Amino acid sequence: MYEIKKMTVLHWKQVKEIYLEGISTGNATFETEAPEWEKWDGSHSKECRLVAEHGGTVYGWAALSPVSGRCVYAGVADVSIYIASAYKGKGIGTALLRAIIELSEQQGFWTLQAGIFPENTSSLKLHEKAGFRRIGVREKIGKMNGVWRDVVFLERRSGKL
């Protein structure tokens, strides 16, 4: 069992380790290293960041990042969700994504979006199960290790508009 709770700086060491684990797969993000807490903290919504934890062990995390500083996009955010490899396939991703969606709606977000590598089929399935729809593929949107990568772009509109 685990509890989903608000992420704090005290979780950062384990959150960062899980993020680095995702980076190492080559199919989770274009990032090549995890930032320090201050940078990560400054680029993510303070109200919408969660961890799945039990007995001091973080199993996974989810957080939102604003897509723009313009007020018209104040309710639009990018979703990040990472599960430690030892805990994948146990429903933690589903629980975290549902919880971050609920929290986002409480905080006034009306659209959540995600950019996922097509090779990351488990993440695509997770998001689609949670009500995200595929908008399209951003072809050759960025290079990773000298290779152009596509990203599947998904969004979820709140039913509470």
The predicted pLDDT at position 159 comes to: 87
Q: Average pLDDT in the 77-92 region?
A: 97
Nearest to 51 by CA among 90, 89, 14: 14
Instruction: Specify the pTM.
Output: 0.95
**Residue 15 · residue 7 · CB < 8 Å:** yes
**What's the burial of 59, exposed, middle or buried (CB within 10 Å: 0-12/13-18/19+)?**
buried
Strand 3-6 versus strand 133-144 pairing type? unpaired
The structural domains of the chain, ordered by start, are 3-112 (3.40.630.30)
Q: Give 43-71 pLDDT, tens digit per residue.
A: 999 999 999 999 999 999 999 999 999 99
Is 90 exceeded by the pLDDT of residue 160?
A: no
Q: Average pLDDT in the 125-141 region?
A: 98
CA distance 92 to 37: 23
Is 80 exceeded by the pLDDT of residue 32?
A: yes
Sheet harboring 147-157: ordered strands across?
Answer: 3-6, 49-54, 57-66, 76-83, 111-116, 147-157, 133-144
Listing DSSP states for 118-131 in one string gives TT-HHHHHHHHHTT
Q: With pLDDT > 70 as the criterion, what percentage of the chain qualifies?
A: 99
* DSSP label at residue 11: G
